[in-house]
Structure 1
C-alpha cells in the first residue's frame, strides 16, 4: 500500500500574469488582474492505495505533525492493512517527511511490526511513489471543472469526487509499473528517469 499527503490550492497561480496590451492601455480595467493573498486557502489530504482499491482520503485539518500523522496511521492505515492482509504479509510505504520519522510514529511502527512490513525509504532517493500520478489525476480533473471551486468546502468535495472516479485500471497499471520503475532507477544509478 502506497501513501502520501498533498496540498491543493483553492486558486493556484504561478504568480506570473501575462497581459497583451498597447502602451496607452496600461491602466485599462481589462489589462489588470486582481490577486488573492495566500491563494485563497488550501486543503491538505492524505491518501493510500493498493492494487485492490483506493482507500478513502483523509482531510488533514491541522498541521501535519507526528501526533496528527500517528492518528492517521493508527486509525486508518492499521485497520485497513489488517483487513486486507490478515496474515501480516502486507507492505506499507511512506516517504521521509519529518512527521513520518517522528519518534512516536516510529515507536508505533515497531510495536506493530508483526502486522505488516514498513518499507524503508532511503533519504535523497528518487520519488518512485506511484500515488504522485494519482494526485496528478485529481489535479487534472479539478482543473477541468467549470465553474472552478470557489471555496474550501467546494474544493474538498471536488478532490474527494475526483479521487473516487479514478478507474481501477489506472492504479493497477501504476502498481504493475513498479518493477520497471525500480529497474530504470537502478540502471540510471539514481539519476533522472522518465518516471
Structure 2
C-alpha cells in the first residue's frame, strides 16, 4: 500500500515461504510500486522468516582463500529499500489496521466456500478509500514516537 493507493490483493493457497514471497514481490509489488510510488519508496515488512530469508536478504559465503563475500539478495539486486521492523512493535505495521477494517466488515457473515470468502474480501478491499490510507501513513510519526516512548512495547495503535 502507499499513501494514495491500496495496491493488489494476492490470494495465497499455500503457506508463504521465501520463494513464494519473492514471486509476489516480483509480480505484484514491483509493478505496483513502479506505477504508483515513483522513486525513493520504502518497503516495511515484519520479521516473518520468509521476509528475512537469505534468498531475499543475501548471505555471506566463505571463499577458497579463507575470506568471505556477500552474495546480494533479491532486495539489493532490485534496489528495494527496507525499513527495519522492531520485532516487538506490530503497532508500526499499518496493514494490520487495513485487515482489522476488512474483518470488521465481514464480522458475522458466514461463507459457504473459500471462493465466496475471497469474493467478499475483495469487495471490502475495494471500499477502502484514499483517506483511510492517508490517515494511516500520516500516523506513522506518531506511531514511531509511541513505540519509542513504550520502549518497543505495545501502544494504543
Q: Please, what TM-score do these two structures have when normalized by structure 2?
A: 0.83
Q: Can you give the 5+ residue segments of structure 1 that lack an aligned partner in the other structure?
A: 1-48
More divergent stretch after superposition (49-58 vs 184-193): 184-193
Q: Offset of 1:144 from its aligned partner? A: 5.0
Q: 1:142 aligns with which of 96, 99, 106?
A: 106
Q: 1:104 aligns with which of 48, 51, 55?
A: 55
**Greater RCO, CA 8 A, separation 6+:** 2
1:27-176 matches, within 5 Å, as 49-86=1-38, 88-106=39-57, 107-113=73-79, 116-122=80-86, 124-127=87-90, 128-145=92-109, 148-176=110-138
Q: From the CA coordinates, give the structure whose radius of gyration is larger.
A: 1
What is the match of residue 33 of structure 1?
none
Q: Distance in 1 between matches of 2:7 and 2:108?
A: 23
Q: Distance in 2 between matches of 1:192 and 1:51?
A: 24
More helix by share: 2
* Contact in 1 for aligned 2:2/2:37 (Cα 8 Å): no
RMSD, aligned CA:
1.4
